[in-house]
Amino acid sequence: MKRQLKANLPLLISGCIIGILIVVSLYLLRPPAPEPGIDLVNIPFYQLPFGPDENGAERPFWPSRLQTDNGRLVDPSKIQSAATCATCHQKEFDEWAPSLHAIAGRDTVYERAVEANENLHRDGIERARFCEGCHAPGEVLAGRTNRFKSVMPSDAETEGISCVMCHTATHADPLEGNGALTLAVNTGVDQLSNPMILAAPRDHARAFGAAKTNALIASADFCGGCHTENYDQSMSKATTRQHVQSTFVEWRDSWYAQNDITCQDCHMAPDPASYVRQIRDGDIRKPERYAHNFVGANYLMFDTSLGSNLTWLRGGILPGLTKEQNTRLIEKQGTATSALLRAAAGLALKGSHITDNRLVFDIAVQNLGAGHNLPTGVIDQKYMWLEIVVSDANGSVIYHSGSFDTERGQTDPDAVIWREDFRDSAGNRIPDHLTFITAEITHLRKGVPPKGEDIVTYDVALSGDNTGPYQITARLWYRVATQEFIFNTLKTDLIVPPFELVSATFSLPADKKVRP
Amino acid sequence: MSLIRANSRMQVLTYLFALLLGTGLYLEFFAGHNWNAGETVLLFHLFVGLIFTVLFLVWVASHIKQGLATSQRKIFTGLSWLLIAKYILIIATGWLMVVPPAIYLTGKIWFWQFETTYLLTFLHLWGAVTAMIGLVIHLGLRHWCNPTPHSNRGEK
């Protein structure tokens, strides 16, 4: 053997062996790391009024189905704040910060609705884990949804659905819903210092973006964990399971699911409205990237004309944002929200006939762009209605249905409305989203399914003075809250403006003009 | 005895390289078991890497001058230059990966695009693995011509 090899080979081999021995020894000799997370017994006065599960295990987050991977609560100081993530991921933070996900746990409408529910029941605060599991998972996982606030707050808990709440997910059950997500927030994250993250960013990415997590959060199943909501006896008066929000199932049974167009494709596209119109045109290629805006339908939370009221409605300004940044980002998100809403629906005249004294016509309300029902989600406050104005050849209005009173914020009670109603045990409608006393869910009219339509027939009486052609103006409106809900919950006379999804004019008899 | 005869600086370099390779492989394949313990190994890797860089650059200059000049085989010469290129690649990619934390320590944030990080890591890791193989070959290959029947040249 050559002498250089003779001299160095033992060094190479021994270097490798010693290196391995050092690593193995450190691994074996180091004191066992404490199990990450907080044990239930270390949260003073934590109440478990719902008892154990069928296997006898404690259910610290019930009635939310949210779980941590090791079953332990989370140390709030260990939950990375989105503002911290923004140190490097500024673009993603700027996309997420104005989103509904960011304010899910702090927006005033939600907060007041939770308080109203909490006051309904002796175990109201514990029952509110049902709401907070999806709206403020950090609060629930840290054990702060407790009548005695025995856990210190942290920025991350106020950030609603923050970075770690998605990027640590390991399991989702979209059919059970009610927050049926398992998060490796105790074990799947690193606590590396910033210089170390910068030195080995791939390790940081692998900690937060394990292959299993990345695959899960790119799927509709993940969204279904929260965008499926069922009421049972744990949190309501329902004696049988009541389906309150079925967005996942609506999507699963749709053309979109069959063509692998997921929630993320539309709601995380850089320009969601353009993407939806692309899909409408038959081009089902995936977006070029996924943004973290999660553009949805709640236009109110981006209505900057509300001024300081908007900041109040949004529950203040998130950590990591200045007022100017906040306004700029909200305006941008508001534009995207409006555009997305306008890409969702269509109106068509399906049939008509005129007799001597009747004008009968069918208006089709079409779901052209939403991969779920229109409207979807929990629609006891959110609702959609159709406004129809018929005028004769002289321009005289001979029929008007679905008007909106801008002074009182009331929709014509006789309008055709798509809404679900919460009902108490006596069958009375509950207008205030009081989950804990809801016994049954009924629908005035169910949402229009994806690529489907709902045909509404109008029968208008004509008098001898009316002469054609008749002009029908149809407007499809969406509103994120009923006025009674806003008044009862917020104790304010703030009028929630409706949003015009689409409008169209038709002439009878004869041609059709559509104004998208 | 051969250990004693070998150049002491070369011994240190060989040893450091073995440690760097071992810790690098740990970071690539095993750090996922405990991200926070990985930080210690990474710090060690960076520290040893800095020392290795300085010692290697000083040593390799004289080794090229004295060693490669005496090579009598083209294949040995070619492989040796390739090996040096590999070491330069490993050192360069390592230093490029250290740039973001160095800038962070000055109070600013800057980092490579994620794709660039992947490329740098790939070149750094697999460059090191192939360099280890190349080093063994380099050490094992003779750099002198086989002696002709009437000649008495060459090492023993």
Quick one: A243 and A375 in the same domain? no
ipTM: 0.74
In a domain, A387, yes or no: yes
Q: Are residues A415 and A471 in the same domain?
A: yes
Please compute the mean of the pLDDT values over residues B78-83 and round it to a whole number.
87
Determine whether the interchain pair A15/B136 forms a contact, defined as Cβ–Cβ distance below 8 Å.
Answer: no
**Over residues A346-362, mean pLDDT:** 91
Q: Which of B14, B46, B98 sits opposite A11 (nearest CB)?
A: B14
Measure in Å the smallest separation between the Cα of A157 and chain B Cα atoms.
23
> Are A205 and B114 within 8 A, CB to CB?
yes
Strands A181-183, A67-68: parallel, antiparallel or unpaired by DSSP?
A: parallel
Query: Do A160 and A230 fall within a single domain?
Result: yes
- Given this model, what pLDDT does residue B35 score? 61
Distance from CA of A84 to the nearest CA of B (A): 13
Q: Are residues A350 and A382 in the same domain?
A: yes
Instruction: For residue B6, name the pLDDT band (cuts at 50, 70, 90).
Output: very low
Q: Which of residues 67-96 of B touch A (CB under 8 A)?
A: none
- Residues of chain A contacting residue B35, judged by C-beta atoms under 8 Å apart: 189-192, 203-204, 207
Q: Give the Cα separation of A219 and A214 in Å (integer).
A: 9
My answer on whether A237 and A289 are in the same domain is no
In this predicted model, what pLDDT tens digit does every residue of A12-22 receive, in sequence order? 777 777 777 77
Residues of B in contact with A191 (CB under 8 A): 35-36
Structure tokens at A48: 């478990």
In angstroms, the CA B41 to CA B32 distance is 12
A8 within some domain = no
The highest-confidence range among A182-196, B119-133, B135-149, by mean pLDDT, is B119-133
CATH number at residue A387: 2.60.40.10
Task: Identify which of A508, A462, A505 has the alpha carbon closest to the alpha carbon of residue A352.
Answer: A508
Mean pLDDT of A382-405: 95
Nearest to B18 among A19, A194, A198 (CB): A19
The nearest alpha carbon in chain A to B118 belongs to A202
What pLDDT does residue A515 have?
43
**pLDDT at residue A303 in the model:** 94
The pLDDT value recorded for residue B7 is 64
CB A12 within 8 A of CB B14: yes
Identify whether residues A391 and A286 lie together within a single domain: no
Q: Measuring CA to CA, which residue among A379, A422, A443 is closest to residue A117? A: A422
CA distance A12 to chain B (A): 6
CB contact B1 to A (< 8 Å): no
Q: How far is CA A476 from CA A132, A375, B45, in A?
A: 32, 11, 64
A129 with A94, same domain? yes
The DSSP 8-state label assigned to residue A105 in this structure reads: T
Hey, are the CB atoms on A19 and B105 less than 8 Å from each other?
no
Measured at the alpha carbon of residue A148, what is the angle toward residues A144 and A154, in degrees to the nearest 5? 35
What is the percent of chain A with per-residue pLDDT over 90, rounded to a whole number?
Answer: 69
Q: What is the reported pLDDT for A511? A: 45
- Using a CB–CB cutoff of 8 Å, tell me whether A196 touches chain B: yes
Interface of B with A in 31-70 (CB under 8 A): 31-32, 34-43, 46
pLDDT over 80 at A257, yes or no? yes
- Establish if A430 belongs to a structural domain: no
Shortest CA gap A479–chain B (Å): 42
- Whether A206 has its CB under 8 Å from any CB of chain B: the answer is yes
Is B22–A6 a contact, with Cβ atoms under 8 angstroms apart? no
Residues A310 and A226 both lie in one domain? no
Could you tell me if residue A7 is inside a domain?
A: no
Looking at the fold, whether A169 and A59 belong to one and the same domain comes out as: yes
Question: DSSP letters along A210-263, please?
Answer: -HHHHHHHTSHHHHHTTSEEEE-TTTSS-SS-EEEEEHHHHHHTSHHHHTT--H
Q: For Cα atoms A94, A97, A100, give the angle at the middle one, nearest 5 degrees.
A: 135
The pLDDT of residue B12 is 85
The reply to whether A318 and A219 lie within a common domain is no
Instruction: Give residue A30's pLDDT.
Output: 67
- Which residue is associated with the tokens 């809900």? A485
* pLDDT digit string, tens, across residues B25-65: 888 877 666 666 667 788 889 999 999 999 998 888 888 87
Residue A44 has pLDDT above 60, yes or no: yes
A202 interfacial to chain B (CB closer than 8 Å)? yes
Residues A300 and A393 in one domain: no
- DSSP, res A81: P
Q: Is the pLDDT of residue A77 over 60?
A: yes
Nearest to A12 among B14, B30, B38 (CB): B14
Contact B35 A192 (CB under 8 A): yes
Long-range own/partner contacts, residues B125-133 (CB < 8 A, 24 or more apart):
B125/B24, B125/B25, B125/B28, B127/B86, B127/B89, B127/B90, B127/B93, B128/B20, B128/B21, B128/B24, B128/B90, B129/B21, B130/B86, B131/B17, B131/B83, B131/B86, B131/B87, B131/B90, B132/A12, B132/B17, B132/B21
Residues with Cβ within 8 Å of residue B72, at least 6 apart in sequence: B143, B144, B145
> What three-state secondary structure class fits A313?
helix
In this model, does residue A63 exceed pLDDT 70? yes
Q: What pLDDT, in 10s, does the model give residues A198-208?
A: 887 877 887 77
Hey, are the CB atoms on B11 and A206 less than 8 Å from each other?
no
pLDDT at B19: 87
Model pLDDT for residues A475-494, shown as the tens digit of each residue: 999 999 999 999 999 988 88
Nearest to B100 among A192, A198, A207 (CB): A198
Q: Which chain A residue has its CA at the smallest distance from B137's CA?
A: A5
What's the structural domain count of chain A?
3
Is residue A147 scored above 80 in pLDDT? Answer: yes
Is the CB of A2 less than 8 angstroms away from the CB of B142?
yes
User: Is residue A4 in some structural domain?
Assistant: no
pLDDT at A28: 74
- B128 touching A, CB under 8 A? no
User: Taking CA atoms, what residue in B is nearest to A195?
Assistant: B101
Q: Is the pLDDT of residue B140 over 80?
A: no
Measured in degrees and rounded to the nearest 5, phi and psi for residue A158 equal: -90, 0
| Residue A502 lies inside a defined structural domain of this protein | yes
**A181 & A323 share domain:** no
| pLDDT beyond 80 at A138 | yes
Which residue from B133, B129, B96, B138 is spatially nearest to B113, judged by alpha carbons? B96
Q: What is the CATH number of domain B2-140?
A: 1.20.950
Among A244-253, A408-417, A490-499, the minimum mean pLDDT is found in: A490-499
**What is the pLDDT at residue A204?**
81
Q: Is A21 inside any structural domain?
A: no
Interface residue of A4, A9, A30 to substitute, partner B, most B CBs within 10 Å: A4
| Chain B interface includes A21 (CB < 8 A) | no
Rg of the Cα atoms in chain B = 19
What is the dihedral sign for C-alpha B67, B70, B75, B81? positive
Domain ranges of chain B: 2-140
Helix, strand, coil proportions of chain A in percent (round to 5)?
Answer: 35, 20, 45
**Which pLDDT belongs to residue B3?**
40
pLDDT score recorded for residue B36: 61
Closest CA to A495 of A404, A386, A412: A404
Strand, helix or coil at A73?
A: strand
- Residue that finishes a domain, picked among A218, A251, A284: A251
pLDDT for residue A440: 96
Q: Does B14 touch chain A (CB under 8 A)?
A: yes
Q: With an 8 Å Cβ cutoff, is A119 touching chain B?
A: no
What is the residue-wise DSSP string for A468-486? S-EEEEEEEEEESS-HHHH
pLDDT level of residue A169 (50, 70, 90 thresholds): very high
Q: Give the pLDDT band of residue B156 (cuts 50, 70, 90).
A: very low
pLDDT of residue A516: 41
pLDDT averaged over chain A? 91
Domain with A117, as residue range(s), is: 40-251
Backbone angles phi, psi at A504, to 5 degrees: -155, 150
**CA distance to partner chain B, nearest, from residue A184 (Å):** 13
Kindly report, residue by residue over A221-244, the tens digit of the pLDDT: 999 999 999 999 888 999 999 999
Q: How far is B4 from chain A (nearest CA, A)?
A: 8
Q: Per the domain annotation, does A210 fall within a domain?
A: yes
Q: From A323, A342, A361, give the residue that closes a domain.
A: A342
Q: CA angle, corner A216, sides to B119 and B34, nearest 5?
A: 60
Would you call A198 and B18 a contact, using CB atoms and an 8 Å cutoff? no
Largest pairwise CA distance in chain B: 69
